[in-house]
Amino acid sequence: MKIEFRNVSKTFYGEDSELETLNNINIQIKEGEFVSIIGPSGCGKSTLLHLMTEIVDSFEGDILIEGISLKQSDKLVSYMHQKDLLMPWRTIKDNVTLPLILSGKKKKDAYKIVEPYYKMFGLDGFEEVYPNELSGGMRQRAALLRTFMVESDIMLFDEPFAAIDAINRHKLQQFLLERCQGFNRTIMFITHDIEEAIYLSDRIIVLSQRPATVIQDVKIELERPREKHMKLSVDFLKIKEMLIEALE
Amino acid sequence: MKKSTSTVKLKEKILPGLFITLLILFTELVIQIADIKAYILPKPSRVIGRLIEDRDVLWGHTVTTIQEALLGFVIAIVLAVIISVIMNRYKLLKLIFYPVLVISQTVPIIALAPLFLVWFGFGILTKVVVVVIVCFFPIVVSLVEGLAVVDQDMINLMKSLKAKPLDVFLKVQVPAVMPAFFSGLKIAVTYSIMGAVIAEWLGAQSGLGIYMTRAMNSFKADALFADIVIVVVVSVSLFRIIDFAGKKLMPWHKGE
Ligand SMILES: Nc1ncnc2c1ncn2[C@@H]1O[C@H](COP(=O)(O)OP(=O)(O)O)[C@@H](O)[C@H]1O
Ligand SMILES: [Mg+2]
């Protein structure tokens, strides 16, 4: 297994409060799988990723990456937030190369590595520009490119397109699918958009209200490559209906 | 498009200058017509005359005051940076000391100043201490508040990339706090000259404050106003320099 959550529970302790957030989560994800996670807002989806990235570092149970417990593993995972989190003080070029710089690469080498990707991500000509001069869609593509620059085959997305309007969101979904093809990346993708989840995923995991438990684990048998018209197919709508019911 | 923005810029530059010039001419006229005595309110032309006449003396005083102000300003920056970083790192210290800091600001420094004279003497030390005290507060507040609102998600992103704490500090916290820091610096630098002048009132060999006291004691209103003009010009210039430095250091930070 590429990623494995074993009996993972998490409670946040406040000054005089306890917030039981995750309750005995068990998830297994195979190499190269694209798994979406959906669930009511506030149920603990983001927390799941925070545990994996060690942003939050105490929990019960165990998370294994390639069979090694998270605490022992020094494996880097790539993580993208709903907000683009581009640093206003860095040019696009310096933003997207940040993961390379932090992993110890020289600036010059980092620039060279990222060079071929600007075109692919629709950013060529904007390398020297500051993020606040770009549109929301472009910023999100830059954030996506930065996410791809992390030297890791595991990618975590936390509602990456939630703040983007419907038209651009579809473009970005398509874009992500194309970028992922042939890269053999293992992906955990959080969304509250059921259609998005079905469209992108090999598998969808449905979480309950907080404290979250896994209530459904649905394999999506739609063929790949995915195309826009599939969103209107009977199979697609059946899955959608089932998921809507599960969430209620 | 380009033309209209540049005319707006031109207006921004010309109109205030024009207004001030007219105001000066108007004052001149009113004093002339109403026949106001020079020791009560001198004509602008007399003030300018005094500036020219006393230029060597005034230059010496100005240099003294700028030295005191800048020395105090720099020390205030260093102290404010150290203290705000510590308060940001140890939240408990912030909880305890931040309110104290705010309360300390309500103490009228002019009332304490004579005591400083007893403690620190008639030399430069008293002046620098007063400047540090007036400059420190706006800088430390801008830093503490600026550091507090640094986007936690951005810091989390750095953590997910296994960034070292020093990298988080240098690559996120420092640049994020820069705009607030420069706002604080701009306020502080304008206070710095005032602080030095007030400290000099109490007693000094040289400085714009002592020149001011002498002018008042001998009812030379034109000298007093000449002094004030210098204080204003120097303060505004320092403000401009900081503003310029801020724009150069933060090319991404446009607007406001
Ligand atoms: N660091 C934290 N400290 C305390 N409570 C937290 C923390 N992070 C998240 N929570 C709480 O845990 C619950 C789940 O949050 P989250 O994982 O962000 O939900 P979701 O992403 O599913 O909307 C929320 O009630 C949230 O307030
Ligand atoms: Mg969330």
> Residue B256: its pLDDT value, please?
42
DSSP at A231 = G
> What's the half-sphere exposure (Cβ side, CA atoms, 13 Å) at A10?
28
The whole-number average pLDDT for the span A32-55 is 95
Give, in words, the CATH class of A3-77+152-247.
alpha beta
Least confident of A92-106, A141-155, B92-106: B92-106
Q: Is A55 on the interface with B (CB under 8 A)?
A: yes
DSSP at A41 = T
Per-residue pLDDT tens listing for chain B (256 residues): 445 667 777 888 888 889 999 999 999 999 999 988 888 889 999 999 999 999 999 999 999 999 999 999 999 999 999 999 999 999 999 999 999 988 888 888 888 888 888 999 889 999 999 999 999 999 999 999 999 999 999 999 999 999 999 999 999 999 999 999 999 999 999 999 999 999 998 888 999 999 999 999 998 999 999 999 999 999 999 999 999 999 999 999 875 4
A32 vs A133: CA distance, rounded Å: 35
> Residue B2: its pLDDT value, please?
47
Asked if residue B96 lies in contact with residue B153, where contact means CB atoms within 8 angstroms, the answer is no
Question: In terms of Cα–Cα distance, which of B180, B161, B181 is closest to B171?
Answer: B161
Chain position carrying tokens 């990222």: A114
Q: Is A50 on the interface with B (CB under 8 A)?
A: yes
> Residue B52: its pLDDT value, please?
94
The whole-number average pLDDT for the span A84-91 is 96
B80 vs B84: CA distance, rounded Å: 6
Q: Is A83 on the interface with B (CB under 8 A)?
A: yes
Ligand 1 midpoint to CA A46 (Å):
7
Tell me the chain B residues in contact with residue A83 when contact means C-beta distances shorter than 8 Å: 151, 153
Distance from CA of A53 to the nearest CA of B (A): 5
Q: What single string gives the DSSP state of each residue in B97-165? A: HHHHHHHHTTS-HHHHHHHHHHHH-SSHHHHHHHHHHHHHHHHHHHHHHHHHTS-HHHHHHHHHTT--H
Neighbouring residues of A36: CB distance < 8 A, sequence distance ≥ 6: A188, A189, A190, A191, A196, A197, A200, A201, A203, A204, A205
Contact B157 A102 (CB under 8 A): no
Interface of A with B in 114-133 (CB under 8 A): 130, 132
**CB of A69 sitting under 6 A from ligand 1:** no
Give, in words, the CATH class of B41-249.
mainly alpha
Interface with chain B: mutation pick from A75, A78, A89, highest number of B CBs within 10 Å: A89
Ligand 1 midpoint to CA A18 (Å):
12
Chain B residue with minimum CA distance to A74: B162
A40 vs A247: CA distance, rounded Å: 7
- Ligand nearest, relative to CA of residue A50: 1
Query: The complex's ipTM?
Result: 0.89
| pLDDT of A231 above 80 | yes
Contact B254 A132 (CB under 8 A): yes
> Residue B106: its pLDDT value, please?
86
Mean pLDDT of chain A: 93
Tell me the chain B residues in contact with residue A88 when contact means C-beta distances shorter than 8 Å: 252-253
Asked if residue A142 lies in contact with residue A86, where contact means CB atoms within 8 angstroms, the answer is yes
Which candidate from A55, A74, A87 shows the least CB-CB separation from B160? A55
| pLDDT of A151 above 70 | yes
Per-residue b or e along B136-160, where b marks 16 or more CB atoms closer than 10 Å to that residue's CB: bbbbbbbbbebbeebeeebbbbbbb
> Residue B4: its pLDDT value, please?
61
Residues of B at the A interface, defined by Cβ within 8 angstroms? 151, 153-154, 156-163, 167, 171-172, 175-176, 178, 250-254
- Residue ranges of the domains in chain A? 3-77+152-247, 84-151
Task: Using pLDDT thresholds of 50, 70 and 90, give the confidence band for residue A30.
Answer: very high
DSSP at A212 = B
Neighbouring residues of A121: CB distance < 8 A, sequence distance ≥ 6: A141, A142, A144, A145, A175
B80 vs B85: CA distance, rounded Å: 8
Contact B167 A98 (CB under 8 A): no
Which candidate from A54, A85, A89 shows the least CB-CB separation from B159? A54
**What sign does the CA torsion over B255, A96, A187, A239 have?**
positive
Burial of B98: CB neighbours in 10 Å, binned 0-12, 13-18, 19+: middle
Which candidate from B157, B162, B252 shows the least CB-CB separation from A89? B252
> Tens digit of pLDDT for each residue in A178-220?
888 777 899 999 999 999 999 999 999 999 999 999 999 999 9
> Residue B183: its pLDDT value, please?
95
> Residue B31: its pLDDT value, please?
92
Tokens standing for B245? 């430095």
**Ligand 1 atom nearest to A14, measured from its CA:** 4
A152 vs A18: CA distance, rounded Å: 35
